[in-house]
Structure 1
């Protein structure tokens, strides 16, 4: 069993992939070819915003967004410590300070009730992360940010395709950023990413920053980076787009089936509640799905006691797993002295217990049954 099955998807879209790639090879415009603008228009329409700016990775999307907003040395950016390192990495690279705010243990997304207390005159942006595919509490976060005149960048690198009160992830704030890393819900076959905004000036800034700050060839109006998405990668995402709505629906269905199977077959399995971080984990848990939103389940993640033992038993049963993420960023050597020193107990608790199961739109019912059965057996060994 594969943790993420890309081969089945590739076989399903092979004809369109071949056609798209052959077209790029024929015209030879490997940098900023016509597929770049075609993809940007399609994605802007999908998200429901005026502007999509394709970039070379999800990391570059976050970096360019911060640069377009003028974040620099001495500034502060509020974010979560429970995320992939890129979210904080880009803040530090610009000379700013990451201010870590703990997460809601029910969802693993930043807790909006803790944000206002961290805002200072140096706060220049807030970056919530829509982790595992479920959008963070963007309305509450946007309201806090608006009250203080602070822009918000949604890190939607794991949630592209998810809905939030009828709106799409990445179209909910000043900027939305996503990744097309191969394992993402909408992935290419290398690195790629995109930024989304309704602000004309910020869109123009982002477009210039991604081509070394050029407003036109050899005219540099701002500091920039080499952040373009290759034409071939844009062509690959275009080949995947016609299947994407079906894939999103399948991810939602398979996630719901995991929920039902785990409750049926794993004794004591239930949803995380707010009391969990104050006590030892005594049984397996799922993260909560909040009202009026969907998750594309970039990962299907559960919480288990004795994680290393459980993973070893699952591996022996032929079931691959992964941990996203074991060590919060404020506990990492590279970041411990760079952020604030406030404790983040929910992030630490989640980091000690989260475990991701095989997930994807082509995951079969038989494989899902095998995963749940193996997990039930692995947990029973500790009972």
Structure 2
């Protein structure tokens, strides 16, 4: 039994026939960059999230970078970011010359600990990048209240939480700016790199739209120092097709999440993920806390069960941040040594989940 970690192969079988038809249309109009499908996708994404504006980008990383640039964040500024996340969340802060201030996460949902934010705000703080990890968001009501009090911006890194909700509002529409990724393994993914920026503020929208195309206001007129950060038309076609089945897939993910937990709940030495109050999750990555994590990882690999570790090293331990004073983040440190992610998707079967649960049971029983 070969288990697909993200279920992409099964999803592709469902949409490939319609995609081929859509690709035929692309080959007729031949607008491979910023073609009509880009505008159609941006409208649908904005409507889906409830945001006024959406700007598609070449990647989730570029979406974050453009957002920071649009807010004028630069050398001497500080941006608060959780210590347990993908490198992009903090890398972009350094890229604009600002300083990342790392904050610990909560053990309950792996997201930024909202209660620690105030302690790290200084006169140099210009923004908070709050990462919505593994499919659910932190409490943006709390984060936004803090930000309002100190007059700083909030950016949601929603690379792993597109279509999740917090207090009934969609991820990507919870703060000043929401950024997501359409990397192939995401809940809504394309066939390459891709991303998007969401905002309800017209000035931010207009600035990001210029920045995405070298800072161009009209052809060969450049008002800003920007990037080449456009989404390809072909990727927009893929995303438009996948949007049609997204709600159905999220329901399947929710059902599978409940089943998975049922199969795993009696296994000692592991802790299962929980959906926090006022949240709905898209369960993008099924992550557990496990004793003897590295041994379990190797054991499952030998049993041909694909597993992953997101993330084995905290951000403040990365070489590129070695000159930044390290804050104490004990929960992040512990989790980086204990978390392991199991195969999960809308298309994982009961048989596959049972097999994984049985093998984990066997490991701890041996």
1:345 pairs with 2:347:
no
Indicate conservation of the 8 Å contact 1:107/1:289, yes or no. Answer: yes
Indicate the residue corresponding to 2:47 in structure 1: 45
1:362 pairs with 2:362:
no
Aligned residue runs from structure 1 range 280-291, under 5 A: 283-291=269-277
Runs of 5+ consecutive residues of structure 2 not aligned to the other structure: none
The whole-number CA distance in structure 1 between the counterparts of 2:62 and 2:326 is: 27
SS across alignment from 1:46: helix
Give 1:181 deviation, angstroms.
0.1
Indicate conservation of the 8 Å contact 2:5/2:344, yes or no. Answer: yes
Give 1:294 deviation, angstroms.
1.4
The whole-number CA distance in structure 1 between the counterparts of 2:320 and 2:160 is: 24
The whole-number CA distance in structure 1 between the counterparts of 2:225 and 2:39 is: 23
SS across alignment from 1:152: strand
Cα offsets for 1:241-293 (capped at 9, x unmatched): 110001111111111222222114x1x3xxxxxxxxxxxxxx11123321121
SS across alignment from 2:101: strand
Indicate the residue corresponding to 2:306 in structure 1: 320
Give 1:379 deviation, angstroms.
2.0
1:87 pairs with 2:89:
yes
The whole-number CA distance in structure 1 between the counterparts of 2:302 and 2:331 is: 30
Indicate conservation of the 8 Å contact 2:273/2:286, yes or no. Answer: no
| Corresponding pairs, count | 364
The whole-number CA distance in structure 2 between the counterparts of 1:33 and 1:131 is: 32
SS across alignment from 2:206: helix
Indicate the residue corresponding to 2:293 in structure 1: 307
| 1:179 paired residue among 160, 181, 188 | 181
Aligned residue runs from structure 1 range 1-383, under 5 A: 1-264=3-266, 266=267, 268=268, 283-338=269-324, 340-381=325-366
SS across alignment from 2:126: strand
SS across alignment from 2:37: helix
Indicate the residue corresponding to 1:272 in structure 2: none
Indicate conservation of the 8 Å contact 2:265/2:272, yes or no. Answer: no
Indicate conservation of the 8 Å contact 1:319/1:374, yes or no. Answer: no
The whole-number CA distance in structure 1 between the counterparts of 2:112 and 2:28 is: 46
The whole-number CA distance in structure 2 between the counterparts of 1:27 and 1:245 is: 30
Give 1:17 deviation, angstroms.
1.1
The whole-number CA distance in structure 2 between the counterparts of 1:247 and 1:287 is: 19
The whole-number CA distance in structure 2 between the counterparts of 1:137 and 1:20 is: 39
Indicate conservation of the 8 Å contact 1:329/1:336, yes or no. Answer: no
Indicate conservation of the 8 Å contact 1:133/1:158, yes or no. Answer: yes
Cα offsets for 1:122-149 (capped at 9, x unmatched): 1111001000011111111111001111
Q: CA RMSD, aligned part only? A: 1.0
The whole-number CA distance in structure 2 between the counterparts of 1:209 and 1:251 is: 36
Indicate conservation of the 8 Å contact 1:130/1:136, yes or no. Answer: yes
Cα offsets for 1:15-42 (capped at 9, x unmatched): 2211222211221000100000000000
Question: TM-score with structure 1 length normalisation?
Answer: 0.93
Instruction: Give every structure 1 segment of 4 or more consecutive aligned residues whose post-TM-superposition deviation is greater than 3 Å.
Output: none
Give 1:11 deviation, angstroms.
0.7
The whole-number CA distance in structure 2 between the counterparts of 1:54 and 1:305 is: 41
